[in-house]
Structure 1
Amino acid sequence: MNGHEHMNARHLGISAGLLSLLLGTACGAPPDLPSDASAPGDSAPSPASPSTPSAIPSQPEAEADPIADFEPVVIPGERVGPITATTSRETLANLVGAEHLRDESIPVGEGFSEPATVVDLGPEYGVTLTWTDDSRTRIATARGFGSAWETPEGIGVGLSFAELKTILGSFQVYGFAWDYGGSVVLEGSDLNQYYGDLVLRLKPSQSAIDISPQAYQAVTGDSLFASDNPNLEALDLYVDEMIVYLIAP
């Protein structure tokens, strides 16, 4: 083979090898690669590690609990939990959330009504506040208490007559069946210091009235009755309403 023929053979061999490589790739047979290597152009992502932030699903923010910081203690003349006479409606909204407030006008007896805001925190922590005027910047009274609210002595809505007597000692009660029926007179009781700042109203159970109608009739009307009156004992009385003055009437 002369030099020219040898060069043609070398050129042909290289071309054939290159052609073989190209044909093999086109037919799906990749060139020899290490067993752990990826083929060119393979960009499939590796599974995210549990520690990768994007792999951790976001958690919804917990809804703030409006009563989490509430201590349901009533100090007549001073405060109802964190609420004082100078708590405005705006401050109240920041305290419990505007969605828990409802403005109303409520009757307060003898045909009068006052601007009020219902703090709707359920049957335990709910309370209704009355304002000194329509500006709703100063609180006059708190009433409509839920079952969790009570004074340091343990007085709250639902307290029995027997338990109340243990706390107050001797006291007087206005007769039933009129605007101020069942009102307790604290003056002269063991909680005389709350006189003028705390109003308690007693209510007889309907079953007791049905069983002892004569006892009920004996303690009705605008008159005062001693707490040891046997007719009161027969009526299964309990504290039905508690009104706390934050501004002296």
Structure 2
Amino acid sequence: MIALECIFIAQAVFGQVEPLEELEPLELVEPTLEVLAPSEPAVEANYQPGIRLYINATSLALRTGPKKDAGLIHYISQDEMVTALEDVIDPVPLEIGRRKGQWLYVQHGQHKGYVFDAYLLEVPPSLDEALDWVCIPGKRVGPITNKLTYEDLAVIVGESNLALARIPMGDDKFEEGTAVFPGDKTRELIIQWAIPRVRPKAVIINGTRWKTEGGLAIGVRLSKLVEINQAPVSFAGFEWDYAGYVTSWRAGALEKTHALRSTFIAYLAPEKPYLPDDYNALLGDREYSSELDEASAVNLKVSSMTVMIAE
């Protein structure tokens, strides 16, 4: 009787349980993937924010927006400098006339606006004239004098042509300097500062275009050096800290204009091919003369020069 009552209660609560009808089989559908077209790669700006650039046109319009018919702010004259700014608008390649470039957001003086960057250079168009490539020991290397600052130099050569340099000072010690045209075999200089980025005290010359008024330059052969000096020269032996250091002009013509140690330093280096015996005859911490046959045999040439800048 109790069991029967339980069945009635269950039916009252849950209802009469009916048998399930047979379900129709489901039809499986193969999933399809929607292939999205690849998005266009973002166009990178030709110049990074902060870089200084120079106008390479008779005049260049500074406009209020990145389009040809945007309002004119003013014209910028040739060789004048602008500074690239960060822009919220993505750069778009375009062609004006036969020039291809982008609109670049820049600052010129107190004004900000857009210029067509096909007429910009990272160095002034008149750079050769500004540099002049002449070294005067004790006074200057091109435009670098004791009054030239890092900021002045950046304006002359373009900041992208400057880099931090580590100058070896012996005993595994280094001093920070500034490399100008780093890695350029024809133009590279390294500035050693008396006051960092404010006053130069010496310029290490590695580029072949720089020449002293006396005609010395990187790559000058020993025979030419002796000819310019009008006398033999003396130099330190190789394979030690001061290898190839020119120790004396031997009372030659360079004695007054290229005073060693006080205004000028030069190093010589051999150039292959040469016989090992000739090279081995010029080793060590001692002084050798350019008159030695071995000095000519190892094809010595000027490998480095340093010009001191007077305070």
Q: Do the two structures share a fold, i.e. TM-score over 0.5?
A: yes
Which one of 209, 228, 232 corresponds to residue 291 of structure 2? 228
What is the Cα deviation at residue 157 of structure 1?
0.4
State the AA in 2 paired with 1:199.
I
Q: Tell me by how many angstroms 1:213 deviates.
A: 1.6
Show the counterpart of 2:233.
171
SS in 2 for 1:232: helix
Of stretches 111-120 and 182-191 in structure 1, the one that deviates more from structure 2 is 182-191
The residue that corresponds to 2:119 in the other structure is: 61
Unpaired segments ≥5 residues, structure 1: 1-55
| 1:7-18 aligned within 5 A | none
Asked if 1:241 corresponds to 2:304, the answer is yes
Cα pair 2:282 2:288 within 8 Å, conserved:
yes
1:130 corresponds to 2:188: no
User: Counterpart amino acid of 2:134?
Assistant: V
In structure 2, distance between residues paired with 1:65 and 1:123: 20
Q: Is the 8 A contact 1:114 1:131 kept in 2?
A: no
97, 114, 123: which one pairs with 2:175? 114
SS of the residue 1:102 aligns to:
strand
Equivalent residue in structure 2 for 1:197, among 255, 259, 263: 263
> In structure 2, the residue corresponding to 1:206 is in which secondary structure?
coil
- Residue 247 to residue 109, structure 1, CA distance change in 2 (3 Å): farther
- 2:127–2:156 contact (8 Å) kept in structure 1: no
| Alignment partner of 1:78 is 2:139 | yes
Aligned sequence identity (%): 29
* Bigger share in helix: 1
One-letter amino acid of the counterpart of residue 293, structure 2: P
- 1:157 aligns with 218
Query: Pick from 200, 203, 209: which aligns with 1:139?
Result: 200
Change (3 A) 1:57 1:68: same
Gap change, CA 1:222 and 1:66, over 3 Å in 2:
farther
Q: Which moved more, 1:86-95 or 1:73-82?
A: 86-95
Give yes or no for contact 1:198–1:243 (8 Å, CA) kept in 2.
yes
Give distance in 1, aligned partners of 2:98 and 2:147: 41
| Matched residue, 1:216 | 279
- 3-state SS in 2 of match to 1:124: coil
* CA distance in structure 2 between the aligned counterparts of 1:244 and 1:153, rounded to whole angstroms: 13
Q: 1:67 to 1:125 in 2, by over 3 A?
A: farther
Size of the aligned set, in residue pairs, is: 189
Aligned residues of 1:215 and 1:235 also touching (Cα < 8 A):
yes
Instruction: Name the CA distance, whole Å, in 1 between partners of 2:211 and 2:148.
Output: 20
Q: Which amino acid aligns with 2:125?
A: D
How many angstroms apart in 2 are the aligned matches of 1:93 and 1:131? Answer: 15
Aligned counterparts of 1:123 and 1:65: Cα–Cα separation in 2: 20
**Secondary structure in 2 aligned to 1:123?**
coil
Unaligned runs of 5+ in 2: 1-95, 100-117
Q: Look up the equivalent residue of 2:146 and give its one-letter code.
A: A
Bigger radius of gyration among the two: 1
**Structure ranking higher in strand proportion:** 2
Q: Report how far residue 204 of structure 1 moved.
A: 0.7
What is the CA–CA distance in structure 1 between the aligned matches of 2:214 and 2:241, rounded to whole Å?
27
Structure 1 counterpart SS, 2:119: coil
SS at 2:226 equivalent? helix
Q: Give the AA of the match of 2:244.
A: G
TM-score (norm 2): 0.56
Supply the distance in 2 between the matched residues of 1:159 and 1:125 (Cα, whole angstroms). 16
Q: Alpha carbon RMSD of aligned pairs, Å?
A: 2.1
Deviations 1:97-139 (A, max 9, x none): 1111112222133433222111117332221111124x32111
Which whole-Å CA distance do the structure 1 matches of 2:157 and 2:97 have between them? 30
Distance 1:66 1:131 in 2: 26
Normalising by the residue count of structure 1, what TM-score does the alignment of the two structures yield?
A: 0.69
Shift of 1:66: 6.3
Structure with larger RCO (C-alpha < 8 A, sep 6+): 1
Checking the alignment, whether the CA contact within 8 Å between 1:126 and 1:146 is kept in structure 2 is: yes
Partners of 1:95 and 1:204 lie apart in 2 by 35
Kept in 2, the 8 Å contact 1:176–1:182? The answer is yes
- Mean Cα displacement is larger for which, 95-104 or 154-163? 95-104
